[in-house]
Amino acid sequence: MLRQSLTAFFAASLLMAAPLAGVEGKWTPRQVLELDPAWLKELGLQMPPEKLWDPNRGTGLLSAAVNIGGCSAGFVSETGLILTNHHCLFGVLQEHSTAQRDLMTHGFLARSPQEELRGRTTRVTVPRRFTDVTKAVLSAVPAGAADLARWEAIEKKQKELVAECEKKPGARCRVAAFDGGVEYVLIESFELDDVRLVYAPPRAIGEYGGEVDNWMWPRHTGDFAVARAYKDGKPYRPEFWFPISRAGVKPGDFVMVLGYPGRTVRSLTAAEMALQRDGFFALRARIYGEWIRLLEESTKDSRDGSIAVAGTLKSLNNVVKNAQGQMAGLARGRIIERQEQQENEVLAWAAQRPEWKPAIDARRELVELAARRRATALRDFLLQSVASGPVALRHAAQLVRLAAERAKPDMEREAQYMERRLPQLKARLERDQKSFYRPADEALLRSWLRHALSLPAGARIRAVDERFRSGSLDDAVARLYAGTRVTDLAERMKMFGETLDQLRARRDSMLDLALALEPELRAFDRAGREHEGAISRLRPVWRRAVAAHAGKPVAPDANGTLRVSFAHVKGYSPREAVEYLPQTTLAGMIEKHTGEEPFALPKALLEAAAKTEPVKVPLNFLADADTTGGNSGSPTVNGRGELVGLNFDRVWENVANDFGYNPAIARNVNADIRFFLWLLEHVDHAGSLLRELGVQDR
């Protein structure tokens, strides 16, 4: 069925005069094997699809596309070298930077393996096996279970499957739900926890254009970095890695983008999409936008402060610009209106077919759920941001939750507080000290509290009301920080081992706030689980009707699992009378150089550029790949599986493709491997690294 409909789609696209139209779909490894090989060949694939993935052996070229802390990455040598984005390894640069040795600014090159810098929390996950466990999961749900019970049953079954799977030595497993539970897949991977930074360019190259150019085209960013995975203290030797192409790409060339797209929401109903917009993106834009200003103001006179909040700022800026783009894209593409229209068509179709009545009911219930959640959107957003906002409150809340969870048997704990995850949590609680700068943190907490105090009746936070409703908020926050030792690294690490009673006995102001918030955070989590239970009950019923009405299968929403997108190097028209060509070069990078951040190139690069023909050094390129957040660092490979670049962004017009794919503007931004090679050779003189990558004679 899949094969047939895609062939039909392809035949239709052949009728068009232009080059191949964009191909929607983040395909799973299994789907790749179900696609018509002739169609893939026509697109540009120059190898048998089985070379991408062999489900029996649990390996193939796709196993060279790995996950690295929320980013994607690719093995590029038999000696465990991994290529990913500069911004994906930025945390390691930050971790090893000091006021005296500012690696973020100056970049880093290990001249020998001894110089490589280990990232304390950096992990690489390599995929090994994908097993459909839908039946097993659903049969664990008791008949007539309420939504919370349903969620708990699914969760328990998933944990069991994961525990069983992880009995294999070195295995890391998860169960991933596709489109809310149309399918559940057990994914077996293995983790490499010794990852060391080998190379990163100066920030002025790796982030060239900064926030000004972020999400933009034309782009001129050298968003590359290299790490090496170790196993048992020795360089890890992957079975597959991507050879590096020196030939590069030209307009029209076929490419594949391999990686771990995080989350898309194309399977939501229109009402849920509208809630995403108003109750999520709009709040992100407003509140995180405020936090960006607060962080900038509170650190403007402090070098230490600026270094401390650099990572947070970077991520907030990214998130806010994304939120704005999502909203603009939703409006411009009329995506929600179109989804609603499509829904109405499905409803009309289902209304004439009694066997699909449950789908009509499921969709109505989904819409009602969204309406109810709308009323508490701001409170939910604030409670959610306890886990990502002011560092001190986040730590206090984590310590309280940890103490509470540790009192339970391991299998009954929340996933992130299970024993296997605790070393990571502990490392994060340590590493976060680098991101803590008290004036900035106080400013964020004041803002968080002010918003909490503004909540409407019926959706307020009692712990905040009780403590902060009267008196000066500034004074209250100052007292909070004066009365806590959570912000003290050594003391915090002691707290890591303490029970709830011990934490209470400390009479620590921030812990006390977290203790007071804990019941409300629990209730919020519980409501979330209940909601997820409802979704797992309703979404599959509705989505199966949508698929049946469409008469053809579609790639599922992104969920952090390995996917492949088929694409071509291609420009686009962002607006009337403007055409974007798909490639930029070093010449354009130099044209943008003003000497002022974020357009201040290092002298070494300018000098090297002066000795070459900059227009002959390709730098970034566009393709019409179907990507989203999490695809950062994805290997972009040609039809022979050779690496030609790294995905590192989408264009602004395409940000809302999380809600729907539009071939006219669906463009991802790739860093061209030829710039990376030029940089290593002519600016960094990194001969031995180039030899290891197989692109320089030994």
Helix (H, G, I), strand (E, B) or coil at 37: helix
What is the Cα–Cα distance from 130 to 473, expressed in whole angstroms? 52
The tokens describing 642, both together, are: 């050779």
The tokens describing 679, both together, are: 């940089």
What is the Cα–Cα distance from 378 to 384, expressed in whole angstroms? 10
Q: What is the 3-state secondary structure (H, E, C) of 243-273?
A: CECCCCCCCCCEEEEEECCCCCCCCCCHHHH
Burial 92-123 (b: 16+ CB within 10 A, else e): bbbbbbeeeeebbeebbbbeeeeebbbbbbbb
What is the Cα–Cα distance from 499 to 158, expressed in whole angstroms? 28
* Phi, psi for 124 (deg, rounded to 5): -115, 130
- Inter-helix orientation angle 391-406/438-453, to 10°: 80
- Nearer to a second copy among residue 619 and residue 655 (C-beta): 619
* Beta carbon of residue 324, minimum distance to a second copy (angstroms, whole number): 13
Catalytic residue among 508, 632, 634, 672: 632
CA atoms within 13 A on the CB side of 3: 7
* Beta carbon of residue 639, minimum distance to a second copy (angstroms, whole number): 24
Catalytic residue among 223, 508, 512, 672: 223
* Phi, psi for 633 (deg, rounded to 5): 85, 0
What is the Cα–Cα distance from 121 to 125, expressed in whole angstroms? 13
* Beta carbon of residue 577, minimum distance to a second copy (angstroms, whole number): 4
User: Is 657 within 8 Å of 624 (Cβ atoms)?
Assistant: no
Secondary structure E strands in 454-527: none
What is the Cα–Cα distance from 221 to 623, expressed in whole angstroms? 16
Would residue 223 show up in a list of annotated catalytic residues for this protein?
yes
- Nearer to a second copy among residue 90 and residue 217 (C-beta): 217
- Nearer to a second copy among residue 332 and residue 462 (C-beta): 332
Q: Which residues sit at the interface with a second copy, rule CB under 8 A?
A: 217-218, 571, 575-585, 587-588, 591
- Nearer to a second copy among residue 218 and residue 262 (C-beta): 218
* Beta carbon of residue 625, minimum distance to a second copy (angstroms, whole number): 18
- Nearer to a second copy among residue 222 and residue 390 (C-beta): 222
If you count them, how many residues does the chain have? 698
Would residue 536 show up in a list of annotated catalytic residues for this protein?
no
User: Is 655 within 8 Å of 260 (Cβ atoms)?
Assistant: no
What is the Cα–Cα distance from 121 to 576, expressed in whole angstroms? 46
The 8-class DSSP code of residue 278 comes to I
- Nearer to a second copy among residue 143 and residue 610 (C-beta): 610
- Nearer to a second copy among residue 144 and residue 595 (C-beta): 595
* Beta carbon of residue 155, minimum distance to a second copy (angstroms, whole number): 45
* Beta carbon of residue 59, minimum distance to a second copy (angstroms, whole number): 39
* Beta carbon of residue 575, minimum distance to a second copy (angstroms, whole number): 6
* Phi, psi for 59 (deg, rounded to 5): -160, -175
- Nearer to a second copy among residue 180 and residue 218 (C-beta): 218
What is the Cα–Cα distance from 5 to 11, expressed in whole angstroms? 10
What is the Cα–Cα distance from 298 to 574, expressed in whole angstroms? 37
Q: Which residues pair with 636 in a beta bridge?
A: 257, 645
The tokens describing 85, both together, are: 């984005």
* Beta carbon of residue 616, minimum distance to a second copy (angstroms, whole number): 13
Q: Which helix (H) or strand (E) holds 644?
A: strand 643-650
- Nearer to a second copy among residue 318 and residue 585 (C-beta): 585
Would residue 632 show up in a list of annotated catalytic residues for this protein?
yes
- Nearer to a second copy among residue 533 and residue 645 (C-beta): 645
Report the candidate in 665, 637, 566, 593 with the shortest Cα–Cα distance to residue 6.
566
What is the Cα–Cα distance from 236 to 696, expressed in whole angstroms? 22
* Beta carbon of residue 598, minimum distance to a second copy (angstroms, whole number): 16
* Beta carbon of residue 670, minimum distance to a second copy (angstroms, whole number): 13
The residues assigned a catalytic role are: 87, 223, 632
